[in-house]
Amino acid sequence: MYKDEIILFSGGINDWVGELDQAPHKNGKNWYRIKRPCRLLSIPKPNGDIEQRLIAVQGSGNFYKRYVDIRVPEDSIIEILTLDKSGTVYKGYVRESVREKSKIIVQPGIGDLSLN
């Protein structure tokens, strides 16, 4: 199912783009694992258009594994869509999913808080 395709899980709280793991999920029916996941953000612009951005799930070192598990209940409105390889979301996914991870993570401390 969806072998060698980049898919989009659309309609839930988060829209996820990635490669669908072909192995049966350990949690059972209606569970899916997305490998090399990216979140698809839809940002409304003042002129009414919508800008879409992809953000890879990455962390410095070994903070995160490169997959996301999601459950799609039987009565869910979530759609599983296959991306067109000539489309902008597909091309953006290819760029974002292989982007080098940041080696520096800045974590704010108590001195960075503003108490106004």
Residue spans of the domains in the chain: they are: 7-102
Encode the chain (116 residues) as per-residue pLDDT tens digits.
Answer: 778 899 999 888 889 999 988 888 898 888 999 998 999 988 889 999 988 888 887 655 566 678 889 888 888 888 889 999 999 999 999 988 887 766 666 666 665 555 55
Count CA atoms closer than 13 A to 66's CA, side-chain side.
13
Amino acid, single-letter form, for residue 35: K
d(CA 10, CA 24): 21
Query: Which pLDDT value is given to residue 103?
Result: 66
**What pLDDT score does 57 carry?**
77
pTM: 0.74
Task: Tokens for 14, please give them.
Answer: 């988060």
Structure tokens belonging to residue 2? 């969806």
Q: Tokens 């067109």, residue?
A: 84
* Residues paired with 38 in a beta bridge: 17, 56
